Structure 1
């Protein structure tokens, strides 16, 4: 076996950009046939044929140029009415995480008429515009209200008029968006006669006030409706508006809306809506089918878990612009596809309209995520990695649940392999990588997995180079728990010397660090090369991280965040300290967000191990975070407050002995800056000396403002080098 040569790797990586027009795999615009994709190019929108690798301009720039001006700068686009109309999204603005607000234009591909919709509404205020299935109307949200526009006459009708920051129609509040990835809050019925939409009532949710002290000599208060853990959710309901009468019917869904969530909704046919309801603890899921004309709801599928039920997979691209939760319909709408951990593993199920289910992917392995159902040939395609939780491969199994899972990724080299499969199931965009090979890409045919652009060159074997300095390893704890980890050793490593160790942590249920991907061992905050400077850089995934190791692994952390994850990390670190080439007096740890919280807990709870810590945007007090996330993994503080207290870094701050650098943005709408004030106050109370850096008016990413990234890197690096000096001794 041998390594990919550098020239070939760079060529294939460039091919990825060429083939997709710079789009991520999750954002591919497939044609209806599934034989080609649409792309945004300099000369307009093109159609790229996968089979013959030809490219044709289907929407030239002159069609995209309003009133003889410059062509529209396209952020996103969608074809409707069997390709007869094109919806164009442009001039976008950020709303919390993503730029989901802007202008929309409609191009009639027959007449070449280009028209802006939503004229007269506030500038760049339209969200989630969609053309009706019959192509005659467009619907969108503006300023928390839902509108419909006749594309022929341009007449705009307000379907709701009561919307405001606290009464939200057709979109969602901060918590629903952040924790359920719910943004687009309305759907057309298949017959174009009705629109279903969410309404969230945040009037009882208290505002958290962020303060902007940098843009004026007087401070500006920025209110965010933010339900803290222990607070009841914003009551949600779903309405269906009949466009002919403009009458809204509020669906009669059983239960207290202030103690439930409604994270999914989907039309099955013009009279049936499917709705998922989660109880507040998120451990009891019900699927309701609602007869809309009769306004009658009945439960057809129900599931409970002693811990929690995941609404979405953390492997999905939840920050994609067009991401929405849907019920994948199969069998001509008579069944939908569902993922569940009820047998101890994440598996695919077929569920009928009568609620009867069939297991599709039996076996002791996790389906990482579902990719495609090929009903015609009787196969279901998915990502999995039964043998190595740090990797990912393409598998398929019989759609009827018979047989065993079949691995389709060729056994050329190990690593992480991603696929975007066409609607026809004949093609996929393949992207492969591992920790020593840059991402490579090609179109493939299925199920034979032939590489279409590069041919046999993609079959070249890969050999791990001897000079990467990086390796994956497994540690076994006293109770038998196996933790995966990676380690980057210093350049010119000398096993007779002792080196400092820097641990990178996250540790919570929303993220895993130990993945066999290129650049995984790179510290983006370190100003320089850690290996060249003489650091050992390590990351470990503890129980509770979302690795494909089964339900018991993932759910073991329930009500134990800040304890189980911390003790796992510390026990593993104790083993590492026994390695001959590790200097136990130079042990550092750092992390961001949940990783910042873990850094604080490790530094406070195990001061004998961790001598230096850099914590960024940490939840210092679990009672300050939002209710959806914290209650999902920790329960209700009204019932088990002691767990929240025991797992919060602020509880253990009095134990600080080492060197702490604590960093937080004052405009962090996710993990509020109040955490910093609370922790600083507690550390002062106990006479602890530490370094603190607030970044004025920066969000959770601490990326805004001129010079911020360079300043953060220098601050991080200088502190680490001062208190945990690099190099072997």
Structure 2
């Protein structure tokens, strides 16, 4: 029998544990802290309405629902998967035709690389409720023609046009061969670094289809063993141009639908170049292309006549470092166009006439425009997002096309994004901060006034009260060299300034990136807060080279990736180490990908500052990484050997003193496991002890099943044992 005193003590302990509920790694990755959202939110073009892909977990069905912008009321359900046996596995994504009377549904998607996939596709007629499967095989990137009569698609490296009336496909190309020629779909490096897959575009009158052809026959191949569960592994081989190696030879072509003929476009006297973007203008016969030289420090906006094939440069941008490709090119009714550029040192909005002559710089100031939302041509009002209210925040603004009457529409301090109604009368605001989970609301766009909350995450906020999470405190850290860097710190909830705490630093640090941002926390943040619950201080510093503080701050790392960024992390660790409540002998650092490259360099070059480091999927030698990304910042190894070698951790292994954990997925098509294998061999030959973990067949993300739980448990244990 238990005494009353023991029972009382037991209840007290239970109450204390419950009152201070601890975060677990399982909770982080099983959806316990998942926010509610508006999945696949799309603003329609023809009516003042929007659609959302909703999931009914009880019936295991999905529906595309139509809502009215003005009232937020559901107008109708356009399609529900429970009405169609063919859609039993759900809808992955969807697109409308120009009339918004038909929907193209992607189902049963099979991932290829980061953005690319094949899928089963269905065409759904909203009026007749007819569901049709145009292809009895998986295809890539099917796209309606503007008149809604045809669908262009890619299959097995070739392009086709499907006619909806006759149910027949016509081949545009026939020379597509795996690892040799690709038509209308980007190669690996374009997909990864220029972030697009569909390399074909319909003209406004549906008469022409422009596409890019990739001849990758001379690009070196990379092979990976995929171990699986069979007796023998398989080999996955694909074209991957490493820095300084041969790239795909690209060419631009225009297919005429009526004549079934292809015109080859001579863009000009370019050699070893990239076609980073293409887009038809509002003139159905004029195609635009953004052409970059291999160094990416010269960008030409080229206009191509669809009939004659003649190309002319209408706008040129040069930079001593590199020119960013813009996704904000927007053609107005008269074919004048909006363009964003860093040419004055910060990213701003510009207006050009149809011949490429500058009419006006719309936004100005020592802050970056981060998103261009559109132009209301009735009132000549531009809507955009920027960091004017602090580089860790995002706000929505409106401004007249002449650069006057600027007004901040968002009211709360944090990160606000907007999805505008077709007539720009309303927008759906998506707001979050480090202390406020994501909230969706309807706002009017004259003054930004909130009309109604659509979706909030109050239930999550309520649930998190039991965990009594520590706050993410933002501040500016000044190094001894005088560099002012954005930072955050998470302290244990029971922080005692008279104690000495170990510090675990996290960073990514890649060019133009940002980790110190005032937005809702992600799975890494929950992990950091879990570590804080266990007595660690966690800190993050965005060093030089990161984004949203102007071009000069971002581009200072040019030709020397890993020099200034590592210097800043070491200097920041020294500043933090001198805080009265920090044990400077117990500072660790962690990062993934570029952050893994940085963590590796920090434990080596900062061996008197950092006690331990964890590097996940790190680049260990820039010679191993792809051409487009690496050369943008470093030029080629042939031109800049010292820049490559002096800052690659593989060349500094003899400096290792602390504890080092190296982690990689063996099926990483992006940062190849070669990086970690050669790093391991260098460490072995330097007679250095280290720890490592390989995740079989895992790609750059290292996830699936229990993988993330096992990975983060391993890293947690490593921190507790070594920091």
Aligned residue-pair number: 673
Note if contact 2:603-2:613 (Cα within 8 Å) is conserved in structure 1: yes
Q: Deviations over 1:94-118 (max 9, x none)?
A: 1211463112222334544432112
Shift of 1:291: 1.1
**Could you say which residue in structure 1 is the equivalent of 2:6?**
none
- Please tell me whether the aligned partners of residues 470 and 532 of structure 2 are also in contact (alpha carbons under 8 angstroms): no
1:422 is matched with: 421
Asked if 2 retains the 8 angstrom alpha-carbon contact of 1:33 and 1:424, the reply is no
Deviations 1:258-288 (A, max 9, x none): x110011111222211111000011100011
Q: How has the CA–CA distance of structure 1 residues 84 and 494 changed in structure 2, closer, same or farther, with 3 Å as cutoff? A: closer
Partner Cα separation in structure 2 for residue 107 and residue 439 of structure 1: 32
TM superposition shift of 1:155:
1.5
Are 1:80 and 2:97 counterparts?
A: yes
Q: Is the 8 A contact 1:44 1:57 kept in 2?
A: no
| Structure 2 CA distance for aligned equivalents of residues 535 and 154 of structure 1 | 63
> Distance between the aligned counterparts of 2:570 and 2:522, measured in 1?
22
1:339–1:52: structure 2 CA closer, same or farther, 3 Å change rule? Answer: same
**1:590-636 deviation per Cα after TM superposition (whole angstroms, max 9, x unaligned):** 10000000000000001000010011000011100000000011122
Alignment pair present for 1:187 and 2:201: yes
Rounded to whole Å, the distance in 2 between the matches of 1:530 and 1:112 is 52
| Distance apart, 1:333 and its partner CA | 4.0
Check whether the contact 2:280–2:287 (CA below 8 A) recurs between aligned residues.
yes
Equivalent residue of 2:511, what SS?
coil
Matched position secondary structure for 2:519 = coil
* Structure 1 CA distance for aligned equivalents of residues 596 and 450 of structure 2: 42
Secondary structure of 2:651's match? helix
Structure 1 match to 2:3: none
Structure 1: distance between partners of 2:150 and 2:240: 35
1:102 to 78, 103, 119: 119
Find the residue that maps to 1:599 and give its secondary structure: helix
Give the match's secondary structure for 1:237.
Answer: strand
Q: What's the CA shift for 1:437?
A: 1.7
- For 2:452, what is the secondary structure of its paired residue? coil
1:213-612 aligned at under 5 Å gives the runs 213-257=227-271, 259-268=272-281, 269-312=283-326, 325=327, 327-330=329-332, 332-357=333-358, 358-402=360-404, 405-410=406-411, 413-454=412-453, 468-519=470-521, 522-523=524-525, 529-546=530-547, 548-612=548-612
Gaps of 5+ in 1: 1-13, 313-324, 725-729
CA displacement 1:638-693 (0-9 Å, x = unmatched): 11110010110111111000000110111100000001111011111111001111
CA distance, structure 2, for counterparts of residue 98 and residue 55 of structure 1? 31
How far apart, CA to CA, are the structure 2 residues paired with 1:43 and 1:282?
A: 44
The alpha carbon displacement at 1:709 in A equals 1.8
Kept in 2, the 8 Å contact 1:430–1:442? The answer is yes
Question: 2:640 is paired with a residue of what secondary structure?
Answer: helix
Instruction: Provide the residue aligned with 2:78 in structure 1.
Output: 59
Q: Is the 8 A contact 2:329 2:340 kept in 1?
A: no
SS at match of 2:162: strand
CA RMSD for the aligned pairs? Answer: 2.4
| SS at structure 2 position matched to 1:575 | helix
SS of 1:572 mapped into structure 2: helix
**CA shift at 1:250, angstroms?**
1.0
Looking at structure 1, the residues matched to 551 and 170 of structure 2 have their Cα atoms a distance apart, in angstroms, of 48
Is the 1:63–1:114 Cα contact (8 Å) retained in structure 2?
A: no
SS in 2 for 1:255: coil
C-alpha change, 1:520 and 1:60, in structure 2 (3 Å) is: closer
Q: Distance in 2 between matches of 1:262 and 1:43?
A: 38
Report deviation, 1:522.
4.8
CA distance in 1, matches of 2:169, 2:328: 28
Q: State whether structure 2 residue 716 is matched by structure 1 residue 714.
A: no
Question: Who is 1:48 aligned against?
Answer: 67
CA distance in 1, matches of 2:701, 2:89: 30
Q: Counterparts of 1:422 and 1:81 in 2: how far apart (Å)? A: 16
Distance 1:717 1:82 in 2: 53
- Distance change in 2, residues 1:609/1:144 (3 Å): same
Contact 1:491 1:534 in 2 (8 A): no
Greater shift in the superposed pair: 387-396 or 336-345: 387-396
- Structure 2 CA distance for aligned equivalents of residues 420 and 600 of structure 1: 40
Deviations 1:173-228 (A, max 9, x none): 11000000120111111121111111111101111111112332222111021000
In 2, distance between residues paired with 1:406 and 1:111? Answer: 45
TM-score calculated relative to the size of structure 2:
0.89
3-state SS of the aligned residue for 1:710?
helix
TM superposition shift of 1:60:
4.3
1:32 paired residue number: 45
Deviations 1:313-340 (A, max 9, x none): xxxxxxxxxxxx463112x042111111
Please give the TM-score of this superposition, normalised by the length of structure 1. Answer: 0.88
- Looking at structure 2, the residues matched to 634 and 691 of structure 1 have their Cα atoms a distance apart, in angstroms, of 30
The residue number in structure 1 matching 2:7 is none
> Any unmatched runs of 5+ in structure 2?
1-31, 55-60
